[in-house]
Every structure is written in C-alpha cells, then in structure tokens.
Amino acid sequence: MELNQYLVLASFAALLIGMSKGGLPLVGMMSVPVLSLVMSPVKAAVLLLPLFVISDAVGVWLYRKQYSLVNLKILVPAGVVGVMVGWFTAAMISELTIKFLIGLVGVSFCLQTWFKRGQADAPQDASVPKGVFWGGLAGFTSFIAHAGGPPFQIFMLPQKLPKAEFAGTATILFAIINLAKIGPYQNLSPYSEADVWKIAVLVPFALMGTFLGAYLTKRIADAWFFKLVQSGLFLLSLKLIWDALSA
C-alpha cells in the first residue's frame, strides 16, 4: 500500500514538474509538498532535482526563441550566486523561516496588485538592482525550499511581458539554477543506486507534463494566463505560510 501511494504521488509530482517547465509557472512548486506526504521534504527535494533538470532540457528547447535576454542577463548570475549562498548557509537557516518569509512577500505582492486603486500601471523596465535582489533570492529559496517561483514572479510580473516570453524566461532561468544545484545537492545528500532507479521510473511523467504544460500555455488567453499566475502565486504563498506556522 505504501509503495502504491508513493508511486501515485511521485508520478503526480513529476507531472507537475514537467508542466511548470512547459510554461505553467509555480505548479512545479507543489511537487515537493506532494512527495513530502510519503518522505522527508529534504529527501523529496533531492530526489526530484534530476526530474527538474531533465524536463528543463525539453522546456528550454520549446522556448528557445521566446525569452527576455535583458532579464536573463540580470537574473542568471544573481540566481547562481543565490544557490551558492544557499549551499553555504544550508545548515544555519531554517527551511520553515524561508517558507514563511517568501509566502509573506508573495501574499503582500498579490494583495497590492489586486487592490491598487486607479488605472493600471504601465509596464516597468527590467531594473538591475531589483533583478539582482529578486534573482538572488530566487536562487537562494530554490536551493533551500524549492520556492524560487514567488521571487521571480514579483520581479517579472510588473514588466507585463507577453506570456510566451514570460514563460520562456522562467524556464531558462530555472534550468540554469537547477544545474547549479546538482553539485551542492550531491554533496549534501548523495544519490544511491535505489534513488537512480526511482528517478528513472518518473522521467516519462515529467516529459509528458512538459508537453502538456506547453500545450495549455498556448491555448490560454494572455489576460487569463497572468490571472492564473497571480492566483497560483497567492495560493502557494498561503501554503508556504501555513506549512511554516503549522510545523
């Protein structure tokens, strides 16, 4: 029964990872909480990282012509530095503290966006100082708690990019961040032969999710796409806060 439960939850987690890489941001954040129902969150994060990397390759190919280069030039170096900071401070920082702070920032951003009075703001330019801060935070929280989505959203959503460019930028950024996490994760929790076999079984579900995410992204209107992104950010931020407070 436990094996069947693991297979169902792990397959669903792999599908979510693929869908996020296919252009549906934030849904991949649910993968670790889902798998944490049957194992420790740290073990779940380590086990799922190769699936992120494999589905990243498909996602990068799907969005190879649709991304914001100016944002990637800012976010990629900052994100990699954030991963390194997460690695060096992993033993000193509580995962629950990080989850709570990121959840709080995400909720605050959504409420400010939804309840702001007057006309909608004009699209903002990519700010280097803001990008360095939020990109570094995305890399850091991605390493600590697989919660890099909210910082990325907070920086990118005010720019109001076309949805394909937005999705492509997210896919390429986190593909690079996930590659940067391989060495540190292997150092903190080496993969066993049993882990490799578990990962291999889940690969088809991750690949299937990648194409499913790309299919759905192309068929969702721009206005609804960003409403869904913001709603997803809000709900997941609430979940991060709940996880931190209920632990």
Q: Is the model's pLDDT at 52 over the cut of 60?
A: yes
pTM, rounded to two decimals = 0.82
Residues 85/141, Cβ–Cβ less than 8 Å: no
Tokens representing 175 are: 């593909």
**In this predicted model, which residue has the larger pLDDT, 139 or 224?**
139
105-120 confidence digits (pLDDT tens): 888 888 877 887 555 6
Count helices and strands (H / E) in the chain.
Answer: 10, 0
174-183 confidence digits (pLDDT tens): 999 999 999 9
Q: Is the model's pLDDT at 193 over the cut of 70?
A: yes
Query: In what helix (H) or strand (E) does residue 145 lie, and over which residues does it extend?
Result: helix 128-145
Q: Is the model's pLDDT at 1 over the cut of 70?
A: no
At 3 the pLDDT is 65
